[in-house]
Amino acid sequence: MHDGVRKATQSPPPGRPSWVGRDDLPLVYLGWGQRDFHSDPLPLHFDQGTHYFVLLRGTIRVTTGDSTHAIQAPVALLVDPDCAFGITQSDPGTAEILVWVWRGSAALPELRPESGGFVKLALRHGPLDSLADLHSRCRNEVSLADACLPRSLVALRELVEIEILRASRPSPATRDVRWNLARAWMMNNLALRAPVPALCDYLRMTPSTLHRFFVNQSGSAPGCYFRQLKMREARRLIHEEGWQVKAAAYHLGYRHPNDLSRALAACRTTTDKPLEHP
């Protein structure tokens, strides 16, 4: 134990969003939003529980005892209750954060810091939306303050840990599965005129996450990829299956055959990246 260092949750200054729990709840503290740790540093302290700190954007400096660590987003830190730590920034600027302080140790062994230490996990961008959603759900739950609150918080803590663990691990198999699902969904819905919102709902992705996902997988935005699939299917129906342009147009959701003819003509001069064969 460091002499003179408090064992207490450090609440931010007035005006900063936060929540402090009752002694009978498994959740001690919630914090979120943007904070300039250069002008508003977090002093060296011990927390009353395991500190889950997710840095969404920015760069900070974390001090633990006599060591200082430069931390760049996106990253998660899990700090043991017996680890004194503080947070600063070298230069003025805002860091975007999500903070939970839970009583006791993490349930997942992979996230459990050694006594007096901390765990640092680099995160991937995609699952950060899930973590932000879980933080929002925790805030909603504590606002209810009903008899179910302790049990709901225990369940939410496990979900938070699972999402942190998922975000810290490369998952090529999962990406392949989701990519196959996305392409199969598009092939089964080529008549849609606005596929991107529906595909976001199907894959449970935000539009920005879906865009990054498609660019990473194919080099094309989802709308562009969909148009290329549609044109390839149109050519297959007309040139290989012998369909009339009118029949192919209506089958693929066009209001008029001329719309398909124009799309096929434009496709011959487009700069879109060619599709790989499935």
Rounded average pLDDT over 33-54: 94
Query: Tell me, what's the pLDDT at 125?
Result: 74
Q: Is residue 213 part of a domain?
A: yes
Give the pLDDT band (50/70/90) at residue 264. confident
pLDDT of 100 > 50? The answer is: yes
Q: How many Å apart are CA 15 and CA 1, to the nearest integer?
A: 31
Q: Of 167, 201, 225, which residue constitutes the final position of a domain?
A: 167
CATH code, domain carrying 183: 1.10.10.60
Q: Within 10 A of 241 (CB to CB), how many other CB atoms are there?
A: 9
123 and 41 both lie in a single domain: yes
- Which residue is it, tokens 């942190």? 164
Q: Is residue 239 part of a domain?
A: yes
Q: Within 10 A of 10 (CB to CB), how many other CB atoms are there?
A: 18
45 and 81 both lie in a single domain: yes
53 and 110 both lie in a single domain: yes
The alpha helices in 94-221, defined as continuous H runs, are 128-144, 149-167, 172-188, 195-203, 207-218
Q: Of 131, 149, 167, which residue constitutes the final position of a domain?
A: 167
Read off the tokens for 179.
Answer: 């990519």
Q: Is residue 13 part of a domain?
A: no
132 and 210 both lie in a single domain: no
30 and 146 both lie in a single domain: yes
Q: Is residue 4 part of a domain?
A: no
207-218 vs 222-235: helix crossing angle, rounded to 10: 60
Q: How far from 231 is each of 95, 192, 197, CA to CA, in Å?
A: 45, 13, 20
* CA terminus-to-terminus distance, the chain: 60
pLDDT of 21 > 90? The answer is: no
Query: Tell me, what's the pLDDT at 277?
Result: 42
Query: Tell me, what's the pLDDT at 19?
Result: 86
99 and 221 both lie in a single domain: no
Radius of gyration of the chain (CA): 25
90 and 224 both lie in a single domain: no
Given its phi and psi angles, is residue 33 left (phi above 0), alpha (psi -120 to 50 degrees) or beta? Answer: left
Q: Is residue 242 part of a domain?
A: yes
Three-state DSSP class for 3?
Answer: coil
Q: Is residue 58 part of a domain?
A: yes
Number of domains in the chain: 2
Query: Comparing C-alpha atoms, which of 25, 205, 204 is closest to residue 100?
Result: 25
Read off the tokens for 26.
Answer: 């498994």
54 and 144 both lie in a single domain: yes
Phi, psi values for residue 95, rounded to 5°: -115, 135
238 and 133 both lie in a single domain: no
Q: Is residue 12 part of a domain?
A: no
128 and 205 both lie in a single domain: no
Query: Tell me, what's the pLDDT at 124?
Result: 84
Give the pLDDT band (50/70/90) at residue 78. very high
Q: Of 119, 137, 167, which residue constitutes the final position of a domain?
A: 167
CATH code, domain carrying 27: 2.60.120.280
pLDDT of 14 > 90? The answer is: no
According to DSSP, the β-strands at 59-64 and 118-122 are: unpaired
Three-state DSSP class for 118?
Answer: strand
pLDDT tens profile 175-215: 788 899 999 999 999 999 899 999 999 998 999 999 999 99
What amino acid occupies position 159? L
The alpha helices in the chain, defined as continuous H runs, are 128-144, 149-167, 172-188, 195-203, 207-218, 222-235, 245-251, 257-267
Q: Is residue 278 part of a domain?
A: no
Give the pLDDT band (50/70/90) at residue 11. low
Residue 238's domain spans which residues?
172-267
141 and 181 both lie in a single domain: no
Three-state DSSP class for 244?
Answer: coil
39 and 70 both lie in a single domain: yes
